[in-house]
A and B are shown apart, each in its own frame.
Chain A
Amino acid sequence: MPDSYVDEQTLVECAKAGDAEAFGELYQHYLDAIYRYIYFRVEIVQDAEDLTEQVFLRAWEALPDYKQCGYPFSSWLYRIAHNITVDYHRRKRQSVPIPTIEQEQEKLHSAVSSSLQQVIQAEEAQMLAGAIAQLPEAQQQVIILRFVEGLNHDVIANILDKSNGACRTLQYRALTTLSQLLTEEREVA
Chain B
Amino acid sequence: MDERTRLEAILDECVTAVLERGGNAHDCLAHYPEQRAVLEPLLHLGMRLQGMRNLQPAPTFRGVAAVRMQNLIAAHPRQPVHAWDPPAAAASFWPKLGMLFAPPRRRRAVATALAIFVSLWLLVGSLTVYAARDAVPGEMLYPLKRTTEQVQINLATDEMRIARLHLMFAGRRLQETAALLPTNQEAAVKDAVGAYQDEMDAVLGLLEQTTFLTSQEQETLAQLLLSHLDQYQTQIDDLQVQALPTMQPFFAAVLTTSRQDRIRVFSLMGYELPPEETAVPITRPTNTATPTVTVTSTVTPEPTPTATPVPSQTPTPQWQIPSWWPPECPVPPDWPEIWPEDCPIPTAWPEDWPEPPGGWPVPSLPTLLPTITWMIPSDWPEQCPIPPDWPPTWPEDCPIPTAWPSDWPELPEEWSTPPPPPSDDGWVDSPDELPPPPTEWPEEFPPPESWPTPSFDNDDEPPPWWPNP
Contacts and interface: CB of A to CB of B under 8 A. Distances in A.
A95 interface: no
B105 interface: no
Contacts of B448: none
A169 interface: yes
Contact of B56 (A35, A110, A139): A35
A51 to B, nearest CB: 11
Interface in B36-50: 41-42, 45-46, 48-50
Given A56-B69, A175-B11, A150 B79 contact: no
A166 B242 contact: yes
A29 to B, nearest CB: 13
B53 A150 contact: yes
Secondary structure of the A contact surface, majority rule:
helix
A17 B57 CA distance: 29
A20 B52 contact: no
Contact of A128 (B52, B69, B79, B242): B52
Secondary structure of the B contact surface, majority rule:
helix
A165 B181 contact: yes
Given A36-B55, A149-B53, 6 more contacts: A31-B57, A53-B69, A64-B81, A112-B56, A121-B54, A179-B42
A173 B53 contact: no
B57 A111 contact: yes
Contact of A147 (B7, B49, B306): B49
B304 A162 contact: no
B304 A148 contact: no
A166 B81 CA distance: 38
B55 A63 contact: no
Contacts of B307: 173
B181 to A, nearest CB: 7
B302 A146 contact: no
The 9 lowest CB-CB distance pairs between A and B, nearest first, are A111-B58, A147-B49, A18-B78, A166-B238, A165-B242, A175-B42, A172-B8, A35-B57, A20-B73
B411 interface: no
Contacts of B81: 16-18, 64
A143 B49 contact: yes
Give the size range of A's interface with the partner.
Answer: 35 or more
B61 interface: yes
A57 B45 CA distance: 34
Interface in B286-332: 302, 304-307
Interface in A24-77: 24, 27-28, 31-32, 35-36, 39-40, 45, 48-49, 52-53, 56-57, 60-61, 63-64
Nearest to B44: A179
A178 interface: yes
A18 B304 contact: no
A177 interface: yes
Contact of A150 (B19, B41, B56): B19
Contacts of A39: 55
Nearest to A135: B302
Contacts, number: 154
Contact of B51 (A17, A110, A121, A182): A121
Nearest to B13: A168
A89 to B, nearest CB: 17
A102 B81 CA distance: 50
Contacts of A175: 11, 42, 45-46
Nearest to A48: B57
B309 to A, nearest CB: 14
A180 B15 contact: no
Contacts of B305: 177, 180
A78 to B, nearest CB: 15
B58 A176 contact: no
A136 B307 CA distance: 15
Contacts of A1: none
Nearest to A63: B78
A131 to B, nearest CB: 10
B52 A125 contact: yes
18 contacts: A35-B57, A36-B55, A53-B69, A60-B69, A64-B78, A111-B58, A111-B61, A125-B52, A146-B15, A147-B49, A150-B50, A153-B12, A171-B8, A172-B8, A173-B304, A177-B305, A179-B41, A179-B45
